[in-house]
Amino acid sequence: MTALDARTVTIGTELLPLVKGPITREDLKRYAAASGDPNPMHTDEEFARNAGYPGVFAHGMLSMGYLGEFLVQAGGVGSIRRFRARFAKLTWPGDVVTCRGRVTAVRDEGAARLVDCDIWTENQEGERKLVGAALLALTRPEA
Amino acid sequence: MIGRLLSTGTATVAAEHIGAFSRALGDLNPRYLDPREAGGSGPCGGIVAPPTYPIAFMTQAMAGGMDTFLELGLNFMTLVHGEQEFEYLRPVRAGETLALTGRVADIYEKSGSSGTLDFVVLETEARDTEGELVFFSRNTLISRRT
């Protein structure tokens, strides 16, 4: 069961959004532990303030993890061939993260229907935080 | 410096670690968590890892990147992870052992309104015990000169 239908997907098709959060400081501690990221910038308020930030902020890879869930929702486990993101703006505790995407190209290769997408996360104000692209391989529908 | 080998090593993927990573993302897909739901054989069979899971065992390669930063005299205090890219041949599977190789792929600088930025690009590839490529990762680290 995937959200993106290989029979009807076309340029401009929007991927089903995925809403995560609001992000809590507890989420950041849990992600730091599970991912093995030792950077105190995401877990230690004093450290983050001393570095010139208003406080701790989310790991870019936490939001990219949300985009990963969003792509699997669209194409299924094992469908992602390429996946990239630029960490354009910081994501803060309290932010609601909405993952969105739009199809930019569709072509067939063997048994696969290859779908290029622009993808991004945005917060509750519609501000884009991660900006990237993905290539999904869907099972090509029977002719 | 470009092309320098940063690290080689192996990582064995534990189902429990995949579970902890998935829960930390709030992603409760049974394919990551429940062996009964996780399908049979084939490239996507068994418990598999979510797409960004490789970052959790690339700490070694990243640490090598930090050393490169220090050696180049770049500003460690303003270091951020600027971009991340993955290419996948198949999902990472619980129980498998992957051979990881990390390299410095590129070093460059850009000047902008906020001053000069230094970029270091690290590439990591993971192969299974058959020698087949499983995934490829490209991390771009950025620091601002102060």
Range B104-120 average pLDDT: 90
Looking at chain A, list the stretches that DSSP marks H as alpha helix, in order from N- to C-terminal side: 25-35, 45-50, 60-75
Letter for the amino acid at B129? Answer: T
Give the model's pLDDT for residue A78.
Answer: 94
Interface test with chain B among A43, A87, A99, by most B beta carbons within 10 Å: A87
ipTM greater than 0.90, yes or no? yes
Name the residue facing A78 among B17, B59, B91 (closest C-beta): B91
Letter for the amino acid at B134? Answer: V
Whether cis (ω within 30° of 0) applies to the bond prior to A40 is: no
Are A82 and B87 contacting, i.e. CB atoms less than 8 angstroms apart? Answer: yes
Q: Is residue B29 part of a domain?
A: no
Q: Is residue B32 part of a domain?
A: no
Name the residue facing B84 among A20, A34, A84 (closest C-beta): A84
Residue A128, pLDDT > 70, answer: yes
Residue B61, pLDDT > 60, answer: no
The Cα B4–Cα A64 span in angstroms is: 27
Range of the domain at B9: 5-13+48-144
Give the model's pLDDT for residue B62.
Answer: 60
Please give the tally of structural domains in chain B. Answer: 1
Give the model's pLDDT for residue B41.
Answer: 57
Range of the domain at A68: 18-23+58-139
Q: Is residue A92 part of a domain?
A: yes
Residue recorded with tokens 């995407």: A101
CATH code for position A128: 3.10.129.10
Q: Is residue A78 part of a domain?
A: yes
Would you mind telling me the total number of residues written for chain B in this entry? 146
Q: How many CB atoms lie within 10 A of CB B17?
A: 18
Q: Is residue B37 part of a domain?
A: no
Q: Is residue B83 part of a domain?
A: yes
Q: Which of A34-48, A98-112, B59-73 has the lowest mean pLDDT?
A: B59-73
Q: Is residue A38 part of a domain?
A: no
Are A54 and A46 contacting, i.e. CB atoms less than 8 angstroms apart? Answer: no
B85 contact residues in A (CB cutoff 8 A)? 82-85
Nearest CA in chain B to A31: B24
B57: Cα within 13 Å, side-chain hemisphere:
23
**Residues A13-51: tens digit of each pLDDT:** 999 999 999 999 999 999 999 998 888 999 999 999 998
Q: Is residue B68 part of a domain?
A: yes
Are B101 and B5 contacting, i.e. CB atoms less than 8 angstroms apart? Answer: yes
Please give the tally of structural domains in chain A. Answer: 1
* Strand ranges (E), B13-52: none
DSSP H or E run through B30: helix B30-33
Interface test with chain B among A64, A96, A114, by most B beta carbons within 10 Å: A64
Q: Is residue A8 part of a domain?
A: no
Residue A73 to residues A18, A62, A134, Cα–Cα distance (Å):
9, 17, 13
